[in-house]
């Protein structure tokens, strides 16, 4: 079996012991750069990320493994009971999770199952909503069949919103889910990009993106029909 990446560096001792006992070959890495530097020629065969020490760093690390040509998979995250809400809307960043403090047998069972299944299920390729269509395979957006030219971050933001229609997001949530925590500009960046997207969607479609007063933004109609 090839190498499994383990975060952080050094990893929690009980995790290291569990992986050793289960017979995994692994290497601890402390950052995305580290992971790139130590990556075996055939790529990481998977990753285990402990989120309880430094959650922001850990999620940024997961993001770095997933946002690349060949996303690292399977990816198991270890989270504390108080961090379960962090999992929400990060489904693309991990394949399974395990609560800490963990039972070694559980981690072993979950890893075995993940490796057996062989990676995450494929995601739908098309997102469509009210005349707007996003092809996730080709990165192309169109509106009423006409191409919509977007910058990379505009595309990522629209994709995220359109994949979660009817749901209200705060600026902070959008910033952390679309840009990642490592982005410096602050939630103001979100407003700037929303304004740019609305301008590009044009008058007819600009109202797909609704401002929810003193909360944030919502794509499409509210699920409660208001």
Partner 1 sequence: MLDQQRDYVLRTVEERGVRLIRLWFTDVLGNLKSFAISPAELENALEDGMTFDGSSIDGFSRIQESDVLAIPDPNTFEVLPWGDSRSDTKATEARVFCDIHNLDGTPFDGDPRQVLRRNLQAAREQGFTFYVAPDIEFFYFAPPERGQAPVPLDEGGFFDLTTTDVAGTLRKQTIRTLETMSIPVEYSFHEDAPSQHEIDLRHTDALTMADSIMTFRLVVKEVAASQGVHATFMPKPLEGVQGSGMHVHLSLFAGDDNAFYSADDDYNLSPVAKSFTAGLLRHAAEITAITNQTVNSYKRLVPGFEAPVHVSWARNNRSGLIRVPIPKRGNASATRIEYRSPDPACNPYLAFSVLLAAGLRGISEGYELPPEADANLFEMSDADLSKLGIEQLPQSLSDSLKVMERSTLVQEALGEHIFEWFLRNKRSEWRAYKTHVSAFERERYLRAL
Q: Quote the least distance from Cβ 113 to partner 1, whole Å.
A: 28
Residue closer to partner 1 by CB (options 36, 105) is 36
- Take residue 159 and report the two structure tokens written for it: 């994709």
Q: Quote the least distance from Cβ 23 to partner 1, whole Å.
A: 31
Residue closer to partner 1 by CB (options 38, 200) is 200
Q: Quote the least distance from Cβ 64 to partner 1, whole Å.
A: 8
**Cross-strand pairs, 191:** none
Residue closer to partner 1 by CB (options 138, 226) is 138
Residue closer to partner 1 by CB (options 20, 149) is 149
Residue closer to partner 1 by CB (options 15, 157) is 157
- Cα–Cα distance between 101 and 81 in angstroms, integer? 9
Binding site for partner 1 (CB under 8 A): 67-69, 138-140, 147, 149, 151-155, 171-172, 184-189, 192, 195-196, 198-200
Q: Quote the least distance from Cβ 105 to partner 1, whole Å.
A: 36
Q: Quote the least distance from Cβ 141 to partner 1, whole Å.
A: 10
DSSP letter for 101, please. S
Q: Quote the least distance from Cβ 196 to partner 1, whole Å.
A: 5
H/E segment holding residue 147: strand 146-148
Beta pairing, strands 126-129 & 132-135:
antiparallel
The CA–CA distances, whole Å, from 97 to 57, 93, 100, 108, 111 equal 17, 11, 10, 12, 10
Taking the CB of residue 37, how many other CB atoms lie within 10 A of it?
A: 9
Helix axes 13-22, 104-117, angle to 10 degrees: 50
The contacts of residue 39 (CB under 8 Å, 6+ apart) are: 5
Taking the CB of residue 190, how many other CB atoms lie within 10 A of it?
A: 22
- Reference 48, options 8, 10, 91, 88; nearest CA is 8
Residue closer to partner 1 by CB (options 144, 172) is 172
């Amino acid at each position: 079996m090839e190498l499994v990446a383990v975060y952080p560096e050094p990893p929690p001792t009980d995790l290291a012991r569990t992986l050793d006992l289960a017979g995994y070959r692994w290497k601890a890495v402390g950052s995305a750069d580290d992971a790139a530097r130590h990556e075996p020629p055939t790529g990481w065969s998977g990753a285990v990320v402990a989120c309880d020490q430094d959650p922001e760093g850990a999620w940024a690390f997961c993001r770095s493994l997933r946002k690349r040509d060949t996303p690292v998979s399977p990816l198991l995250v270890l989270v504390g009971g108080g961090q379960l809400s962090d999992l929400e809307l990060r489904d693309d960043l991990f394949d399974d999770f395990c609560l800490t403090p963990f039972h070694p047998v559980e981690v072993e069972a979950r890893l075995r199952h993940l490796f057996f299944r062989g990676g995450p299920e494929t995601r739908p390729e098309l997102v469509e909503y009210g005349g707007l269509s996003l092809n996730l395979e080709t990165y192309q957006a169109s509106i009423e069949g006409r191409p919509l030219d977007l910058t990379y971050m505009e595309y990522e933001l629209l994709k995220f919103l359109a994949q979660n229609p009817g749901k209200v997001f705060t600026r902070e949530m959008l910033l952390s889910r679309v840009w990642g925590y490592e982005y410096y500009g602050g939630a103001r960046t979100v407003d700037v990009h929303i304004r740019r997207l609305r301008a590009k969607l044009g008058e007819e479609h600009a109202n797909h993106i609704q401002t929810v007063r003193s909360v944030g933004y919502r794509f499409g109609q509210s699920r409660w029909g208001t």
